[in-house]
Amino acid sequence: MDTKQILQYARSWVLEAGEEIRTNINEPLQIDTKSTPDDLVTHMDQQTEKFFADKIRNQFPDHRIFSEEGMGDDISDLEGVVWIVDPIDGTMNFVHQQRNFAISIGVYEDGTGEIGLIYDVMNDVLYSAVKGEGAYKNGDRLPLLSTTEPLKRSIFSLNTTWLLEENRLVEASGIRELVKSLRSTRSYGSAALEFAFLAEGVLDGYVTMSLMPWDIAAGKVLVEEVGGVVTTGDNSPLSMMDRTSVCAARRNIHEETVENYINLKK
Ligand code: IPD
Ligand code: CA
Ligand code: CA
Ligand code: CA
């Protein structure tokens, strides 16, 4: 694939979609729920996804789209070029806070992440990465992550599913021990931003029970370009097709985290 050309289009569409969201940020939202009363979707999620689907199909008719809100293709493999799109990651933040949400686009070729773009819309900050060419924040290259700082001086992002006792995996995991071993934890409510913050070095790890491929696709490219490691919660490679647990962290603490603490094998 012509990575440079695809990146140029992807970048300009992300900025255009972000501008549209910012312009309408105070307009009334049509809010629906999906699987649960707290699983929100708005007309802006759908409109933004349609914007990308139309642009991609028009410019790259042989590419496929794997996306959250139903405007993409019916995907059962990652052959060829696939755009993995989350039009608004952090919809709950979008609805309740009008900030702390992102557009996330990963472009994969035959299952390999080639391009990752995460746009923090309200702050107008674009994180971008091309496989093998490093990661950038608004055009400034992000340095490689530390490979020496220990867990005890690390901040991890976690969400509150780890507190739910009915979750069998929580009881089996060493998550409480992990929290005690860390310097502290944070919870931002947008998986894409959590990956971007890890890539930027303001977080050292992100562990979560359950994400979809569009939550991860761009973030994985970014984090790997600064030397971080992204796996499932049982230290396996991510399939990028199914719902999965995730452990993402700086290289020197990833294995320790996943093997000694997360331990989702049990
Ligand atoms: C959600 C956010 C959230 C994560 C959820 C995702 P959405 O994405 O990334 O941080 O905990 O699992 O579903 O639905 O706002 O695009
Ligand atoms: Ca959603
Ligand atoms: Ca998402
Ligand atoms: Ca979403």
Is the pLDDT at 237 greater than 80? The verdict is: yes
Each residue's pLDDT tens digit, 45-68: 999 999 999 999 999 999 999 999
Q: How confident is the model at residue 199 (pLDDT cuts 50, 70, 90)?
A: very high
pTM for the complete prediction? 0.97
Separation of 88 CA from ligand 3 center, angstroms?
Answer: 7
- Angle between helices 3-23 and 43-59 in degrees, nearest 10: 150
> pLDDT at position 124, please?
98
> What percentage of the chain exceeds 70 in pLDDT?
97
> pLDDT at position 161, please?
82
C-alpha 150/C-alpha 181 separation (Å) is: 10
Each residue's pLDDT tens digit, 150-172: 999 999 999 888 887 666 667 77
> pLDDT at position 265, please?
65
Is the pLDDT at 135 greater than 80? The verdict is: yes
Measured from the CA of 68, which atom of ligand 1 is nearest? Answer: 16
Ligand 1 pocket, residue 89 CB under 6 Å: yes
Look at residue 146 and tell me if it is in a domain. no
Measured from the CA of 194, which atom of ligand 1 is nearest? Answer: 10
C-alpha 123/C-alpha 198 separation (Å) is: 17
Point out the domain boundary residue: 77, 108, 141: 141
Look at residue 112 and tell me if it is in a domain. yes
Q: How confident is the model at residue 266 (pLDDT cuts 50, 70, 90)?
A: very low
The domain of 189 spans 151-260
Ligand 1 pocket, residue 189 CB under 6 Å: yes
> pLDDT at position 163, please?
80
Is the pLDDT at 262 greater than 90? The verdict is: no
Same domain, 128 and 26: yes
Same domain, 231 and 166: yes
Q: Which residue, chain included where needed, has tokens 């359950």?
A: 210
Separation of 196 CA from ligand 3 center, angstroms?
Answer: 13
Whichever domain contains 125, its CATH number is 3.30.540.10
Specify the number of domains making up the chain. Answer: 2
Same domain, 136 and 59: yes
> pLDDT at position 42, please?
97
- DSSP per-residue codes, the chain: --HHHHHHHHHHHHHHHHHHHHHTTTS---EEESSSTT-EEEHHHHHHHHHHHHHHHHH-TT-EEEETTS-S---S---SEEEEEEEEE-HHHHHHHS-S-EEEEEEEETTEEEEEEEEETTTTEEEEEETTS-EEETTEEPPPPPSS--GGG-EEE--GGGG-TT-HHHHHS-HHHHHHHSSEEE--S-HHHHHHHHHHTS-SEEEEEEE-HHHHHHHHHHHHHTT-EEE-TTSPPP-SSS-EEEEEE-HHHHHIIIIIII-TT-
Same domain, 183 and 115: no
Each residue's pLDDT tens digit, 201-210: 999 999 999 9
Q: What are phi and psi of 157, to 5 degrees?
A: -95, 135
Count CB-CB contacts under 10 A for residue 236: 13
Identify which has the larger pLDDT, 259 or 101.
101
Which among 92, 101, 190 is the best mutation to test ligand 1's pocket, defined by most ligand atoms within 8 Å of the CB?
190
Look at residue 206 and tell me if it is in a domain. yes
Same domain, 83 and 177: no
> pLDDT at position 164, please?
77
| Residue among 223, 218, 221, 254 at smallest CA distance from 236 | 254
> pLDDT at position 89, please?
98
> pLDDT at position 166, please?
66
Q: What are phi and psi of 60, to 5 degrees?
A: -130, 70
Each residue's pLDDT tens digit, 188-197: 999 999 999 9
Separation of 251 CA from ligand 2 center, angstroms?
Answer: 29
Look at residue 265 and tell me if it is in a domain. no
Mean pLDDT of the chain: 95
Count CB-CB contacts under 10 A for residue 121: 26
Same domain, 156 and 231: yes
Contact between 220 and 196 under an 8 Å Cβ cutoff? The reply is: no
Please report the ipTM that was assigned to this predicted complex: 0.98
Separation of 95 CA from ligand 3 center, angstroms?
Answer: 14
